[in-house]
Amino acid sequence: MSQPPQESPWEQLAQYLRRSPLVHRFEAIRRYLGAALIVFVAAATAAFSLAPAVLQDMQRRMPGSDELVMLAPAEGFLVRIKVALAMGAATAVPLVMLGVWAAATRGRPRGRRLVTFLAIPVSLGLFGLGAWFAYGWIVPAALRFLLGFAADRLEAMISVNSYVNFILSIVVPFGLVFQLPLLVFFLARLGILRHRTLAERRGFAVVGIAALAAALTPGPDVFSQLLMAIPLVVLYEVSIWVAWLAAPRARRRESDPAWRPS
């Protein structure tokens, strides 16, 4: 009676990796990252045709004058590509977050799959809300403050590249920071973050938010820093409630059955 052929060490290793939960988690991340890359390319390609209208609207945000200059022959083309890439990246960010969430919750109840798909519009909405707030309020206030330092004999000649970089450096961080409630929701569902911890460290969070607002806001304008810090503090308070609601009921009762965010 012939014995079955023995597997080589490489075949045994391959079978082990196929059964490994860690490999399956990386496979989930890879699928979502692949989808995010496709969405990024498609959104950036579509946004390339919308970039001129976006640039015109950016010019209208400049107080006093909407004239921009080009310092290099290819600057206008490169700026158009930069705007398109930024819009494509903003569209793909939710899928990246979902890849991490799907990998972390792989093998868990099906109800979490619904949460995963609902997170896509929520993430886009939060990013859009943060970008809208920054573009409509922070950017005009910062421009008025910074351009107000120009003396009577100085004429502002701002290149289109530096102007777009200035706006994106404000709008993109705001959109990302507004993802805080969603990030807290995921961490609370996984049991990594607790609502009581957020509430007890509120003072440290306010100090950190003030430092972050000072770092991200261009110029020493206190008014612009307050415009950035106030919504971040509100987001932090909202995140405490989100963490409390996202925590499983059993874990809520274990921590403190009578506790509520305050």
To the nearest whole number, what is the mean pLDDT of the chain?
Answer: 76
Task: State pLDDT tens for residues 43-64.
Answer: 888 888 888 888 888 888 877 6
pLDDT at 96: 73
Higher pLDDT, 200 or 8: 200
Tokens of 194: 């607790």
Per-residue HEC secondary structure of the chain comes to CCCCCCCCHHHHHHHHHHHCHHHHHHHHHHHHHHHHHHHHHHHHHHHHHHHHHHHHHHHHCCCCCCCCECCCCCHHHHHHHHHHHHHHHHHHHHHHHHHHHHHHCCCCCCHHHHHHHHHHHHHHHHHHHHHHHHHHHHHHHHHHHHHCCCCCCCCCCCEHHHHHHHHHHHHHHHHHHCCHHHHHHHHHHCCCCCHHHHHHCHHHHHHHHHHHHHHHCCCCCHHHHHHHHHHHHHHHHHHHHHHHHHCCHHHHHHHCCCCCCC
Banded pLDDT at 19 (limits 50, 70, 90):
low
Specify the higher pLDDT residue, 215 or 207: 207
pLDDT band per the 50, 70, 90 thresholds, residue 13: very low
pLDDT-based confidence at residue 6 (cuts at 50, 70, 90): low
- pLDDT higher than 80, residue 224: no
- pLDDT > 70? residue 11: no
Average pLDDT score over residue span 177-184: 86
pLDDT at residue 128, rounded to an integer: 87
User: What's the mean pLDDT in 198-224?
Assistant: 79
pLDDT tens digits for range 115-168: 666 777 888 888 888 888 888 888 888 788 777 776 666 777 888 888 888 888
Name the residue among 28, 31, 33, 44 with its Cα closest to residue 91.
Answer: 44
Cα dihedral 49→134→173→77 (10° resolution):
30
- Segment 79-95 shows an average pLDDT of 83
What CA dihedral angle connects 181, 182, 186 and 188, to 10 degrees? 20
Q: Which residues contact 29 (CB under 8 A, 6 or more apart)?
A: 99, 100, 102, 103
Percent over 70 (pLDDT), the chain: 69
**What does pTM read for this prediction?**
0.70
3-state secondary structure 79-107: HHHHHHHHHHHHHHHHHHHHHHHHHHCCC
Residue 17 binned pLDDT confidence (cut-offs 50, 70, 90): very low
In Å, what is the CA distance from 212 to each residue of 144, 186, 206, 228? 21, 23, 10, 9
